[in-house]
Homo-oligomer: A and B are copies of this chain.
Amino acid sequence: MSASTTELAVLGLVAEAPRSGYDLAQIAARSTGFLWAPSRSQIYKVLPRLVQRGLARSEAVEQNGRPDKAVYELTATGREVLRTWIETVEEEPSGGAPVFLLKILFGFAASPEAVRAQIAAYRRLLERNLAVFERQEAGLPEDEPVYSLIALRHGIARARATLAWADEAERLL
């Protein structure tokens, strides 16, 4: 019943506008490319599955000069599954931080409140991680090689910057 992140990401991109598998592969490389970028073949595997589950329907579009293409669009069920996913707050999504970003990116398919809730959950995750990093930093032995410290500071810097971004994001909403 429950769908994978890849399926939901495809669902989200199709929700933006009806698209073909080929389109999705192109767009994924740009738009969501930094968050999630499956191979072409994986997209072609996922699309029929969505149709089979009643989340999308495909329409054959004839083109002159170019090969025909199958354009997919969401069904009402599909839109609802997407919305429910966006509205569901997971304290620690197994897909990691990118899941928060995807849900935010597809926020148009739900409500601003749902997006705010995702930002808040993301913030909580960042704060927990930051606390762990800072405790580890404090407990770092003197004789330890610098490398662990450098890696830790990477995590700290990113967590802090992302928390600052969360403030900005809430203002922008």
Q: For the complex, is A105 an interface residue (Cβ under 8 Å from B)?
A: yes
What CA separation (Å) do A172 and B154 show in the bound complex? 12
Contact in complex: A157, B164 (CB < 8 Å): yes
Check: A129 CB closer than 8 A to any chain B CB. yes
Q: Which residues A49-79 have CB closer than 8 A to chain B?
A: none
Q: Is the CB of A147 within 8 A of B104?
A: yes
Do the beta carbons of A147 and B34 come within 8 Å of each other? no
Encoded as 1 (CB less than 8 Å from any B CB) or 0, chain A from 87 to 119 comes to 000000000000001001111100000010000
- Contact between B104 and A151, CB atoms less than 8 A apart: yes
- For the complex, what is the distance from the CA of A18 to the CA of B147, rounded to whole Å? 19
Find the B residue at minimum CB distance from A146: B172
Choose one: B101, B108, B145, B168; the contact of A145 (CB below 8 Å): B108
Chain A binding surface, main DSSP class: helix
Q: Does A169 belong to the interface (CB within 8 Å)? A: yes
B161 lies within 8 A of A157 (CB): yes
Within the complex, the shortest CB–CB distance from A148 to chain B, in Å, comes to 7
Q: Is the CB of B155 within 8 A of A169?
A: no
> In residues 22-64 of chain A, which contact B (Cβ within 8 Å)?
30-31, 34-35
Chain A interface residues (CB < 8 Å from chain B): 30-31, 34-35, 101, 104-108, 115, 129, 136, 145-151, 153-155, 157-158, 160-162, 164-165, 168-169, 172-173
- 26 example contacts (A-B, Cβ-Cβ < 8 A) are as follows A34-B129, A35-B151, A104-B147, A104-B151, A104-B154, A105-B148, A105-B151, A106-B147, A108-B145, A108-B147, A115-B147, A146-B172, A146-B173, A149-B172, A150-B172, A153-B165, A153-B168, A153-B169, A153-B172, A154-B162, A154-B165, A157-B164, A157-B165, A157-B168, A158-B161, A160-B161
